[in-house]
């Protein structure tokens, strides 16, 4: 089975056949509770009926068109996404993947500032290829522009005493050649780490004063994942460019960059041209439009605070010598393991992941970060959370 597929991933020996809400089913009709929301994309759960309805309705009209045309759905989606932000962003384009939108955003910032360098935090994940990969922790390429940062959750912290000199160094030495600072507000792939907000706020302010554009990568932290509408809200900053992906289409591949007309006006029209066959396609626009409507009408983020509490209460009581740390931010949870008895960290993580899968629960793992990682749908039910709690406690208690 699967021999014809390039080994770009370590595929599970399961063929997924259908999905609904927090669950997916394999070809033998065994069901699995999906605590990863697909690839962190279905914050509203799989196959949300309103998103499916919107896509089907659009399918009957038009899927695709020449890039020289726009559609009414595209314009309605653009307006609706921009209105979803509290700041007065007034420009948007729709693309397909998160990586594509990051590449576009960085290129856009380079054109607007006429500078080339890109600053990022050393544990960010910003994309699968190109400049965004080079600025991510997954790139082999070392760079002084992937900077260290303080980690803390307190408003009254002393982080700046230690990190003020780094900020000054960045402003004096790097800022003149920087096009942008690309910030992942909470580093999810990098280990569920929130950088100190006082540090981020001061760094962003001084960079913006020096003419550097702030790009926030909301591909994962957006749409409630970090406990607020968007992750950047927890740092109290005003980004110049915002990148959306993943849950913008709730599983359908659509991404976006959002900015101000003022930033766009810095780029001559002949340098703005970007041609990609599926840019601004109506199907992605229809999906995004329905996602925004659901978030607004169903008050998803306000209601999700209950699920966040429920998970956190469980994790506060969960203790076992193989657990080193449990980190959470909004609806993102990471259980960090350490060697126990004669089990290595890697074996513990793989065993737990495999045994949970046998029990019908899908969790994410990061062997590089020693983590089991959960990004459940925001509307997961109490019973579904209970199922996860029971099975996890049982499996941990049965470890010898
Ligand atoms: C923060 C962040 N940025 C960018 C990306 C890349 O998005 P995509 O996989 O849709 O290309 C990801 C994907 O996991 C991500 O988590």
Per-residue pLDDT reduced to its tens digit, 324-336: 999 999 999 999 9
C-alpha atoms less than 13 angstroms from C-alpha of 64 in its C-beta half-sphere: 6
Share of the chain above pLDDT 70, in %: 100
| Whether 92 contacts 257, CB under 8 Å | yes
Query: If pLDDT is split at 50, 70 and 90, which confidence band does 145 have?
Result: very high
Give me ligand 1 centre to Cα 126, in Å. Answer: 6
| CA distances, 103 to each of 118, 246, 304, 359 (Å) | 12, 15, 31, 40
Give me ligand 1 centre to Cα 127, in Å. Answer: 5
Closest approach atom of ligand 1 to CA 132: 4
Query: If pLDDT is split at 50, 70 and 90, which confidence band does 215 have?
Result: very high
Give me ligand 1 centre to Cα 397, in Å. Answer: 35
d(CA 180, CA 120): 9
Q: What is the pLDDT of residue 218?
A: 98
Give me ligand 1 centre to Cα 276, in Å. Answer: 19
Q: What are the residues whose beta carbons fall under 8 Å from the beta carbon of 90, sequence distance 6 or more?
A: 82, 260, 261
Query: If pLDDT is split at 50, 70 and 90, which confidence band does 86 have?
Result: confident
Does the pLDDT of residue 16 top 80, yes or no? Answer: yes
Residue with tokens 């909470």: 186
| Whether 206 contacts 142, CB under 8 Å | no
Give me ligand 1 centre to Cα 102, in Å. Answer: 9
Of all protein residues, the one whose alpha carbon is nearest to atom 8 of ligand 1 is: 98
Q: What are the residues whose beta carbons fall under 8 Å from the beta carbon of 101, sequence distance 6 or more?
A: 95, 219, 243, 244, 245, 255, 256, 257
Closest approach atom of ligand 1 to CA 102: 4
Q: What is the pLDDT of residue 155?
A: 83
d(CA 399, CA 392): 11
Of all protein residues, the one whose alpha carbon is nearest to atom 5 of ligand 1 is: 127
Q: What are the residues whose beta carbons fall under 8 Å from the beta carbon of 2, sequence distance 6 or more?
A: 11
| Whether 105 contacts 257, CB under 8 Å | yes
Please provide residue 24's backbone torsions phi and psi, each rounded to the nearest 5 degrees.
-130, 160
Does the pLDDT of residue 180 top 80, yes or no? Answer: yes
How many Cβ atoms are within 10 Å of 377's Cβ, its own excluded? 28
Taking CB atoms and a 6 Å cutoff, what residues make up the pocket around ligand 1? 97-99, 102, 125-128, 184, 188-189, 217, 219-220, 245
d(CA 144, CA 228): 31
Q: What is the pLDDT of residue 174?
A: 98
d(CA 15, CA 289): 30
pLDDT, tens digit (0-9, with 9 covering 90-100), for 48-78: 999 999 999 999 999 999 999 999 999 999 9
Which residues face 208 on adjacent strands? none
Q: What are the residues whose beta carbons fall under 8 Å from the beta carbon of 154, sequence distance 6 or more?
A: none
Query: If pLDDT is split at 50, 70 and 90, which confidence band does 87 have?
Result: confident
Report strand pairing: 31-34 vs 361-362.
parallel
d(CA 73, CA 309): 37
Q: How large is the average pLDDT for residues 351-371? A: 97
Please provide residue 356's backbone torsions phi and psi, each rounded to the nearest 5 degrees.
-65, -40
Q: How large is the average pLDDT for residues 221-250? A: 97
Closest approach atom of ligand 1 to CA 218: 1
Dihedral class, residue 230 (left if φ above 0, else alpha if ψ from -120 to 50, else beta): beta
SS3 content of the chain, % helix, strand, coil (to 5): 40, 20, 40
Mean pLDDT score across all residues of the chain:
96
d(CA 247, CA 155): 29
Mutate to test the pocket of ligand 1, among 97, 100, 127, 137 (most ligand atoms within 8 A of CB): 127
d(CA 35, CA 359): 13
Query: If pLDDT is split at 50, 70 and 90, which confidence band does 3 have?
Result: confident
Mutate to test the pocket of ligand 1, among 43, 128, 215, 276 (most ligand atoms within 8 A of CB): 128
Q: What is the pTM of this model?
A: 0.97
Query: If pLDDT is split at 50, 70 and 90, which confidence band does 1 have?
Result: low
Going from the N-terminus, what domains does the chain have, and what CATH number goes with each? 16-34+301-397 (3.90.1150.10), 49-297 (3.40.640.10)
Q: How large is the average pLDDT for residues 110-118? A: 98
Please provide residue 73's backbone torsions phi and psi, each rounded to the nearest 5 degrees.
-65, -40
How big is the CA angle at 230 (ends 112 and 287), to the nearest 5 degrees? 85
d(CA 123, CA 327): 15
Orientation of helix 300-317 relative to helix 282-297, angle to 10° = 70
């Amino acid at each position: 089975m699967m021999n014809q597929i390039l080994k770009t991933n370590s595929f599970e020996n399961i063929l997924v056949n259908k999905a609904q809400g927090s669950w997916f089913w394999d070809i033998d009709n065994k069901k699995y509770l999906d605590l990863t929301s697909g690839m962190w994309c279905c914050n509203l759960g799989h196959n949300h009926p309103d998103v499916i309805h919107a896509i089907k309705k659009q399918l009957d009209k038009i899927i695709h068109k020449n890039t020289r045309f726009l559609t009414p759905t595209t314009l309605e989606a653009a307006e609706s996404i921009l209105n979803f932000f509290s700041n007065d962003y007034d420009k948007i384009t729709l693309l397909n993947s998160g990586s594509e939108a990051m590449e576009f955003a960085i290129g856009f910032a380079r054109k607007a500032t006429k500078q080339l360098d890109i600053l990022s935090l050393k544990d960010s994940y910003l994309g699968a290829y190109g400049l965004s990969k080079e600025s991510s922790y997954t790139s082999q390429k070392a760079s002084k522009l992937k900077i260290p940062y303080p980690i803390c959750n307190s408003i009254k912290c002393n982080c700046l005493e230690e990190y003020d000199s780094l900020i000054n160094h960045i402003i004096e030495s790097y800022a003149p050649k920087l096009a942008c600072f690309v910030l992942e507000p909470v580093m999810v792939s990098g280990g569920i780490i929130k950088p100190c907000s006082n540090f981020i706020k001061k760094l962003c302010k001084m960079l913006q004063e020096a003419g550097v554009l702030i790009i926030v990568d909301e591909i994962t932290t957006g749409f409630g994942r970090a406990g607020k509408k968007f992750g950047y809200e927890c740092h109290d900053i005003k980004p110049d460019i915002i990148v959306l992906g993943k849950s913008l289409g709730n599983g359908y591949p659509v991404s976006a960059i959002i900015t101000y007309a003022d930033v766009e006006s810095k780029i001559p029209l002949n340098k703005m041209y970007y041609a990609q066959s599926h840019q601004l396609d109506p199907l992605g626009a229809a999906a995004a439009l329905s996602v925004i409507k659901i978030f607004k009408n169903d008050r998803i983020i306000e209601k999700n605070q209950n699920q966040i509490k429920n998970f956190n209460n469980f994790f506060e009581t969960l203790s076992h010598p193989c657990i080193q740390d449990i980190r959470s931010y909004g609806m993102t949870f990471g259980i960090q393991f350490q060697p126990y008895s004669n089990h290595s960290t890697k074996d513990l993580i793989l065993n737990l992941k495999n045994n949970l899968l046998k029990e019908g629960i899908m969790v994410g793992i990061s062997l590089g970060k020693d983590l089991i990682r959960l990004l459940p749908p925001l509307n997961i039910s109490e019973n579904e959370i209970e199922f996860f709690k029971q099975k996890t406690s049982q499996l941990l208690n049965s470890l010898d």
